[in-house]
Amino acid sequence: MDAKTALKYAEDQGAKFLSVRFTDLVGAWQHLTFPIHELDEGSFEDGFGFDGSSIRGWASIHESDMLLVPDPVRLWMDPFTEEPTMCIIGNAVDPITKEGYAMDPRSVAQRAESYLRFTGIADTAYYGPEAEFFVFDSVRYNADQNSAGYAIESDEGHWSSGRAGNDELGPNLGYKVRAKEGYVPVSPTDTLVDLRSEIALTLERCGITVECHHHEVATAGQCEIDFRFSTLLGTADNLQLFKYIVRNTAHQWGKTATFMPKPLYGDNGSGMHCHQSLWKGEKPLFAGDGYAGLSELARYYIGGLLKHAAAIVAFAAPTTNSYKRLVPGFEAPVNLAYSARNRSAAIRIPMFSTNPKLKRLEFRPPDPSCNPYLAFSAMLLAGLDGIQNRIDPGEPLDKDIYDLAPEQLKDVPSLPGSLDEALSALEADHEFLLKGDVFTPQLIERWITYKREREIQPLRMRPHPLEFALYYDI
């Protein structure tokens, strides 16, 4: 699409307002809304001025003036606003240099795609994430000086089997999802079929093709809705829209959706397995005659992912809560190995089809709390580094890693056990991210500082409710 197409679309849809979306450093969508008469062809070059000083992880006061330049490649009508509102994704641009702002995550993804083409290795990187999420009936939490805690309510939760009927949830009819037994049951055990279907229809109206939806493994409303893969940038855009539609549809139903990776103790967390492949022209570059139908190039890409995995998860599993999911011996793949079909490996090669066009890798450590522009870019640069340096990933591990004896596991490296460790890995290993000026040293430094000062340190300083149970009478 171009500027004229965008203006014609706004006219055809009867849009009265324009919502320009952009993403902060942490990964949350933000927006500015303008009367539609403020949009003209010049807006797609000149942008809209705004103050970036209050955006998380962005500018300081002395460099706060920025431009938000709409990108006409992606348009849709907001399904949740009262007045007809056209939505468009914008890029944050430095008003002096007219280049993409260094801290704008979407600009990082654009530079990653440009660098891929510059290498000559491939033209396109395709990404397909499986972003799991929970839908709860309500959630309460507090973190005060003298109290802290949270409470989740879900009529599906197995802990609700003994509750009395009430006005909010209605009568207790007994069908509950047992812990770790929530994978694809039918209704009435699965209570969220219609909600997921409405999300799917809304996604389709906004230009995202849905392939499947189902209940996931955990109790209390864990869901998955799979949508069609696209380019790195296109998929990152789609994932932001996906989260927006999931949250707002749940809100309309009087429920709450979260992409927090581990909201429940003792059950599966929400991951975001990332399928990825490289293409040059019409040729899929990961298909070959090697192990699991892989090409040599694909093996080197795997080698890069495994070598840099500890640094990648600083972006792909970027919260302290992420590491309550990435725990050895439980559902998440923390051991750095690759395998065909084996879901206990960090990298899996799906074997559903022998079609070369469907040959891809699935990187399993990421979770949906990530900023997709940064996470996808980090994965791509790690894979390209593997190809450029011919990094051998070693032999595949075609065994259930969770059942291996300690002596068999001692030579298999594993992911960091905490966000702090992942950030330290990123500090020690980030040269591969600086290629092509995709990431800048300033962005990496700001990311590490933000995470340590705003997330790790506050958590480290607070007493945990469990500590009272463990130590109050010590």
Looking at the chain, the whole-number percentage of residues with pLDDT higher than 90 is 82
pLDDT digits (tens, 9 = 90+) for 189-224: 999 999 999 999 999 999 999 999 999 999 999 999
- Any idea which residue has 């009508």 for tokens? 77
Q: Show the DSSP H helices in 104-231 as ranges.
A: 105-119, 193-205
| Banded pLDDT at 174 (limits 50, 70, 90) | confident
Catalytic residue among 104, 155, 224, 420: 224
Comparison of pLDDT for 335 and 294, the residue scoring more: 294
Give residue 62's pLDDT: 53
Rounded mean pLDDT of 41-55? 90
**Residues written for the chain:** 474
More confident: 67 or 167:
67
Contact between residue 151 and residue 137 where contact means Cβ atoms under 8 Å apart: no
51 is catalytic: yes
The arithmetic mean of pLDDT across residues 181-194, rounded, is 96
Q: What is the mean pLDDT of the chain?
A: 93
What would the pLDDT profile of 102-124 be if each residue is shown by its tens digit? 899 999 999 999 999 999 999 99
N-term to C-term CA, the chain: 66
Q: In 3D, which of 345, 325, 321, 323 has the Cα closest to residue 333?
A: 345
- pLDDT on residue 57: 86
Is 111 in the active site? no
Catalytic residue among 132, 190, 267, 367: 132
The answer, yes or no, to whether residue 24 has pLDDT greater than 90, is: yes
Tens digits of residue pLDDT in 75-101: 999 999 999 999 999 999 988 888 888
- Amino acid 59: pLDDT: 65
Question: Model confidence at 2, in pLDDT bands (50, 70, 90)?
Answer: confident
CA distances to 69, 239, 446 from 98, rounded to whole Å, are 10, 27, 22
Catalytic residue among 163, 178, 343, 464: 343
Catalytic residue status for 362? yes
Choose, from 106, 273, 299, 348, the residue flagged as catalytic.
273
Helix (H) or strand (E) holding 425: helix 419-428
- 453, pLDDT greater than 90: yes
Is position 216 annotated as part of the catalytic site? yes
181 is catalytic: no
Given pLDDT bands bounded at 50, 70 and 90, which one contains residue 299? very high
Q: Can you give the pLDDT at residue 416?
A: 95
Q: Is 130 an active-site residue? A: yes
Does 213 qualify as catalytic in the annotation?
no
| pLDDT of 320 strictly over 90 | yes
273 has catalytic annotation: yes
Strand partners, 278: 125
Number of Cβ atoms within 10 Å of the Cβ of 424: 17
Residue 12 has pLDDT above 80, yes or no: yes
343 catalytically annotated? yes
In this predicted structure, the answer to whether residue 400 has a pLDDT above a threshold of 90 is no
pLDDT at residue 402, as a whole number? 65
